[in-house]
């Protein structure tokens, strides 16, 4: 049995997040996406925590389900208690800014964590992703002081401003950030700005899990990155409620406990090139450099002679213990695996279905031209992940047309046109290059 999980969405109480992020909407979208397990998000926020207590009902140890106002309980998705906290502090005379994910095994434990953080001066009402003056070490002392079963994972590890390895406010190693507690940091989250292959180059991560979640700020962005868990059960016909699925299964998989019946199968990734800080550069000077170019040319802008904004790739080069040539083999089904040791689970690069539809039809994402076929495909084949990963291309063409089927096929094969982002400029990942687009438009004119 495989479960697709997104354990880092947000609620409507987190800053810069959509007011649509309610349990009702997140449940609906998780089902359309094909997510089996999602994070509650933001359990430290007092109003949202109240909502958690009223809207969720226990479905297993540390696992919950949504119960709507009429008392109807949704089978999917399952929920797990999660929060992201933002840490701003000084360590070794440098200002640090780190985002951290905490998973709690029950509502009661989550409540105790909230009390302890408040005692340590945290203002939990301010934001669903509360800003705390605690260091990484202080946070884990609080969390594990309440319950050692809680899992703590650095969020979006490579983001320049808030990633544990970030160039601006991060550290050079987990050891430096967490000290003696580093051995209990079992995973890092790739975030939108890195893919697993970039993380495979860091030797400190060899024995740790590399997980991917969406950091969604609106319900429809859930699942743009996700982690697929595999549950080994003797009888594959059993339903989820018959196997006693629990919080410990997920924790066992992430900790890579040998006796755990659950493992990480693979992850789903967003193209990190789309991130705003992939390459090094200056937006105003129109300077953009790959890591190889930066090695040769340095980090001073050739136009304005000031320091360039260093991108994520350059930072990976700085911390990497092995070269990229040794890693990343893609099979015909689009699964990228690490090949040689460290033997991390593989991953697939995807483009959200709404974006494939928008590009196929040459319209914006939030239009009826996109949403109508989106829902038709989801209804016909079960979920967005089913369409992106499993459904026969011919079947997709039958329901949504030739070009959409071709688009999904190209995404599966990785045949895309990619322009990496830099210095705050979003990168571009296109299914069809501009020339090809013109060609196919001409073809369609002839068709008429």
* Smaller CB separation from Zn ion, 80 or 101: 101
Minimum distance from residue 191 beta carbon to Zn ion (Å): 8
**Only segment of 6-14, 22-30, 98-106, 363-371 that touches Zn ion (CB under 5 A):** 98-106
Is there binding between residue 350 and Zn ion (CB under 5 A)? no
- Closest distance to Zn ion from the beta carbon of 12 (Å): 16
Is residue 8 close enough to count as binding Zn ion by CB under 5 A?
A: no
Rg (CA), the chain: 22
Residue 282 as a binder of Zn ion (CB under 5 A): the answer is yes
Q: 193 vs 383, which CB is nearer to Zn ion?
A: 193
Residue 426 Cα distances to 10, 86, 202, 312, angstroms: 22, 23, 25, 13
**Measured in Å, how far apart are the chain's first and last C-alpha atoms?**
48
Residues 308-347 as x/- pattern, contact with Zn ion by CB under 5 A: ----------------------------------------
Question: Least separation, in Å, of the C-beta of 155 and Zn ion?
Answer: 5
d(CA 428, CA 419): 5
Residue 238 contacts Zn ion per CB under 5 A: no
Shorter beta-carbon distance to Zn ion: residue 286 or 441:
286
Does 403 help bind Zn ion (rule: CB under 5 A)? no
Q: At its nearest, how many Å lie between Zn ion and the CB of residue 86?
A: 7
Q: How many CB atoms lie within 10 A of CB 114?
A: 21
C-beta of residue 77 within 8 angstroms of C-beta of residue 30: yes
Site for Zn ion in 118-177 (CB under 5 A): 155
C-alpha to C-alpha distance for 156 and 174, rounded to whole angstroms: 13
Q: How far is the CB of 285 from Zn ion (least distance, A)?
A: 3
* Under rule CB under 5 A, residue 36 binds Zn ion: no
Per the listing, tokens 């050739």 go with 302
274/359 with CB nearer Zn ion: 274
Closest CA to 389 of 271, 266, 240: 266
- Does position 304 interact with Zn ion (CB under 5 A)? The reply is yes
SS3 109: helix
Nearer Cβ to Zn ion (215/384)? 215
What's the length of the chain? 448
Asked if residue 268 lies in contact with residue 212, where contact means CB atoms within 8 angstroms, the answer is yes
Q: Which of 65, 99, 344, 412 binds Zn ion (CB under 5 A)?
A: 99
Find the largest Cα–Cα distance for the chain: 71
Q: Is 300 in the site for Zn ion (CB under 5 A)?
A: no
CB of 153 to Zn ion, least distance (A): 11
Binding residues for Zn ion, total number by CB under 5 A? 7
Min. distance of Cβ 107 from Zn ion in angstroms? 23
Q: Binding of Zn ion at residue 303 (CB under 5 A)?
A: yes
Q: Which stretch binds Zn ion (CB under 5 A): 255-263, 278-286, 385-393, 433-441?
A: 278-286
120-156: burial string, b at 16+ Cβ within 10 Å, e else: eebebeebbbbebebbbbebbebbeebeeebbbbbbb
CB atoms under 10 Å from CB of 218, counted, come to 17
Q: Which is nearer to Zn ion, 37 or 301 (CB)?
A: 301
Sign of CA dihedral 6, 11, 12, 14: negative
Question: Which stretch in 35-43, 92-100, 193-201, 288-296 sits in contact with Zn ion by CB under 5 A?
Answer: 92-100
Q: Is residue 4 involved in binding Zn ion (CB under 5 A)?
A: no
Question: Whole-angstrom Cα distance, residue 52 to residue 45?
Answer: 10
Single out the residue of 370, 383, 351 nearest to residue 31, CA to CA.
Answer: 383
182 makes contact with Zn ion (CB under 5 A): no
Contact 175, 185 (CB under 8 A): no
Does residue 216 interact with Zn ion by CB under 5 A? no
Nearer to Zn ion, 290 or 440 (CB): 290
The CA distances from residue 281 to 87, 165, 429, in Å, are 27, 19, 19
Pairwise CA distance, residues 48 & 435, whole Å: 49
Residue 192 makes contact with Zn ion by CB under 5 A: no
Minimum CB distance to Zn ion smaller for 233 or for 285: 285
Least Å distance, CB 292 to Zn ion, is 20
Minimal CA–CA distance to 247: which of 86, 42, 40? Answer: 40
How far are the Cα atoms of 103, 110, 126, 302 from residue 42, in angstroms, in the given order?
10, 10, 12, 44
Please report how close the Cβ of residue 68 comes to Zn ion at its closest, in angstroms: 29
Distance CA 440, CA 1 (A): 41
User: Nearest approach, Cβ of 72 to Zn ion (angstroms)?
Assistant: 33
Q: Would you count residue 285 as binding Zn ion (CB under 5 A)?
A: yes
Residue with smaller CB distance to Zn ion, 17 or 146: 17
Under rule CB under 5 A, residue 299 binds Zn ion: no
Interacting residues with Zn ion (CB under 5 A): 99, 155, 282, 285, 301, 303-304
């Amino acid at each position: 049995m495989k479960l697709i999980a997104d354990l880092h969405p947000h609620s409507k109480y987190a800053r810069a997040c959509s007011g649509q992020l309610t349990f009702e909407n997140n449940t609906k979208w998780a089902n359309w996406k094909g997510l089996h397990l999602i994070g509650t998000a933001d359990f430290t926020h007092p109003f949202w925590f109240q909502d958690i207590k009223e809207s969720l009902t226990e479905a297993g140890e540390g696992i919950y389900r949504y119960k709507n106002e009429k008392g109807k309980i949704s089978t999917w998705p399952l929920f797990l208690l999660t929060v992201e906290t933002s840490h701003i502090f000084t360590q070794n005379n440098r200002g640090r800014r780190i985002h951290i994910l905490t998973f709690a095994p029950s509502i009661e434990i989550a409540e105790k964590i909230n009390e302890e953080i408040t005692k340590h001066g945290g203002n939990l009402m301010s934001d669903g992703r509360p800003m705390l003056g605690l260091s990484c070490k202080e946070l884990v002392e609080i969390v594990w002081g309440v319950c050692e079963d809680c899992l703590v994972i650095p969020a979006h590890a490579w983001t320049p401003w808030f990633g544990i390895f970030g160039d601006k406010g991060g550290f050079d190693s987990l050891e430096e950030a967490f000290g003696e507690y580093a051995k209990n940091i079992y995973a890092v989250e790739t975030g939108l700005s890195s893919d697993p292959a970039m993380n495979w180059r860091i030797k400190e991560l060899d024995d740790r899990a590399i997980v991917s979640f969406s950091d969604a700020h609106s319900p429809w962005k859930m699942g743009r990155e996700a982690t697929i868990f595999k549950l080994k059960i003797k009888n594959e016909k059993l339903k989820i409620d018959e196997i006693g699925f629990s919080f410990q299964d997920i924790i066992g998989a992430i900790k890579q406990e040998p006796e755990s019946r659950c493992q990480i199968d693979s992850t789903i990734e967003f193209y990190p090139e789309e991130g705003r800080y992939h390459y090094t550069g200056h937006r105003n000077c129109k300077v953009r450099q790959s890591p190889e170019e930066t090695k040769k040319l340095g980090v001073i802008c050739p136009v304005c002679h000031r320091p360039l904004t260093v991108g994520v790739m350059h930072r990976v080069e700085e911390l990497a213990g092995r070269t990229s040539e040794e890693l990343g083999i893609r099979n015909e089904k689009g699964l990228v695996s690490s090949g040689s040791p460290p033997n991390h689970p593989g991953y697939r690069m995807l483009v959200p279905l709404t974006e494939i539809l928008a590009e196929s039809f040459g319209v914006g994402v939030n239009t009826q031209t996109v949403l109508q076929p989106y829902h038709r495909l989801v209804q016909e084949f079960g979920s967005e992940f089913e369409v992106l990963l499993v459904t026969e291309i011919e079947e997709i063409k039958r329901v949504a047309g030739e070009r959409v089927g071709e688009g999904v096929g190209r995404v599966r094969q990785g045949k895309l046109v990619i322009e990496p982002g830099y210095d705050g400029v979003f990168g571009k990942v296109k299914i069809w290059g501009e020339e090809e687009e013109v060609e196919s438009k001409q073809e369609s004119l002839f068709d008429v």
